[in-house]
Amino acid sequence: MASGGGEQKVVLITGCSSGIGLRIAVLLARDEHKRYHVIATMRNLKKKDQLVEAAGDAYGKTLTLLALDVCSDDSVRQCIDSVKDRHIDVLVNNAGVGLLGPVESISMDEMKKVFETNFFGTVRMIKEVMPDMKKRRDGHIIVMSSVMGLQGVVFNDVYTASKFAIEGFCESMAVQLLKFNVKLSMIEPGPVHTEFETKMMEEVAKMEYPGADADTVRYFKDVYIPSSIDIFEALGQRPDDIAKCTKKVIESSRPRFRNLTNNLYTPIVAMKYADETGGLSVHTFYNLLFNFGSLMHITMSILKCLTCNCLRRRTISPD
- Does 96 interact with ligand NAD (rule: CB under 6 A)? yes
Interface with ligand NAD, residue 70, by CB under 6 A: yes
CA dihedral (295, 296, 300, 303) in degrees, to 10, reads 70
Within residues 207-236, the interface with ligand NAD by CB under 6 A covers none
Residue 34 assigned as binding residue = yes
Mark the segment that binds ligand NAD (CB under 6 A) among 10-18, 58-66, 128-136, 283-291.
Answer: 10-18
Q: Is 278 annotated as a binding residue?
A: no
Using DSSP bridges, classify how beta strands 63-67 and 139-144 pair: parallel, antiparallel or unpaired: unpaired
Is residue 283 part of an annotated ligand binding site? Answer: no
According to CB under 6 A, which one of 97, 129, 250, 303 is a site residue for ligand NAD? 97
Cα 119 from Cα 121, distance rounded (Å) = 6
159 is catalytic: yes
Torsions phi, psi for 206 (to 5 deg)? -90, -20
Q: Tell me how far, at minimum, the Cβ of 56 lies from ligand NAD, in Å.
A: 20
CA distance 128 to 132: 8
User: What is the DSSP code (8-state) at residue 82?
Assistant: T
Identify the residue among 2, 12, 20, 217 touching ligand NAD (CB under 6 A).
20
21 binds ligand NAD (CB under 6 A): yes
Query: Is 178 annotated as a binding-site member?
Result: no
Residues 232-261 that bind ligand NAD (CB under 6 A): 239
Q: Is 155 left (phi over 0), alpha (psi -120 to 50) or beta?
A: left
Short-list 230, 95, 72, CA closest to 162: 95
Q: Where do contacts with ligand NAD occur on this chain (CB under 6 A)? A: 14-15, 17-21, 43, 68-71, 94-97, 117, 121, 144, 146, 189, 191-192, 194, 196-197, 239
